[in-house]
Structure 1
Amino acid sequence: MNNMGVCFEIPNSYGSYLSEILEHIPFEEFQWLINSDEIHLLDNNEFTNEFLVKEEDRILPGDRLYNTAKSNAYYMVFVTLRAFLKVIIAVTFVQAVLQIKEAYKS
């Protein structure tokens, strides 16, 4: 399998850059894996002790990632995202279930 990547250089300022980038691709068709990030939430243009993506939310459906990025004020230092087509995930899951059923047939 080949990996493809895209890098964006964003201004060194507050903004909703992640949602602006996602708007140009069919984000809702993917599950997103957030490998690493440093996206600080803001309150009145001041850093909080919270991050945009919680540790337990490392895999998100596209609409949830977009809505989270669109509806919050944040300062993005970096983020590494990986996109997986939902169809592939569903097909792989069904194949795995079928293999498990076949293995446990008595």
Structure 2
Amino acid sequence: MKRGIHFKIPNTYGRFLADMLSPIDITSYSWFIGGEESYHVKNGDLHHPLFPEETEMDGETFSHLIHQDEHYLIFANLKAFSNGPVKDIETYEAFRKSNCDLALLIVDSTFVDMYCKNQQMIESLYTHALSHSFEDVAYLTDANNTRTSLTVW
């Protein structure tokens, strides 16, 4: 069974969150934002943190934030919920049992794992990642992904 997708993004400034999430209506979700390390970029320099602390954010606010400025992603822990309580989901097993629809993890500015329960959404995200020339795009499956933790630390 497909769990999601994995790919690499360039280790540079950009609007990569908006790019990689564009196949889905991010405004229809409530978002758990882990207070990991990512920054706004102003005038070519790192500015204030993109996500200064762990928080919950509505989809409109989240969409505005990731489309507003370029950013530099070092670590990110984002979870999307279409209904129910918004909270961090720390394991893949908990993700499967939760009302969390999408988990997006970024490690070391480059490595992206996106976990999703909806197989059609996985296909859409996969096709989109290929069309954006992200590197090493691959499906995460039960056979090739034994990750149990859905955290970035």
Is 2:78 the counterpart of 1:81?
yes
Aligned to 1:37, what secondary structure does the other structure show?
coil
After superposition, where does 1:1-106 map in structure 2 within 5 Å? 6-48=5-47, 50-55=48-53, 58-86=55-83, 88-89=84-85
Over the aligned positions, Cα root-mean-square deviation in angstroms equals: 1.9
Which residue identity lines up with residue 70 of structure 1 in the other structure? Answer: H
Normalised by the length of structure 1, the TM-score is 0.66
Normalised by the length of structure 2, the TM-score is 0.48
Structure having the larger proportion of residues in helix: 1
C-alpha distance in structure 1 between counterparts of 2:5 and 2:36, whole Å? 16
Deviation of the 1:73 alpha carbon: 2.1
Q: Which runs of 4+ in 1 moved over 4 A?
A: 4-8
Aligned to 2:63, what secondary structure does the other structure show?
helix
* Gaps in structure 1 of 5+ consecutive residues: 90-106
Alpha carbons 2:35, 2:52 under 8 Å: kept: no
* Gaps in structure 2 of 5+ consecutive residues: 86-153
Query: How many residue pairs end up in the alignment?
Result: 83
Which residue identity lines up with residue 81 of structure 1 in the other structure? Answer: L
- Identity, % of aligned pairs? 28
- Bigger CA radius of gyration: 1
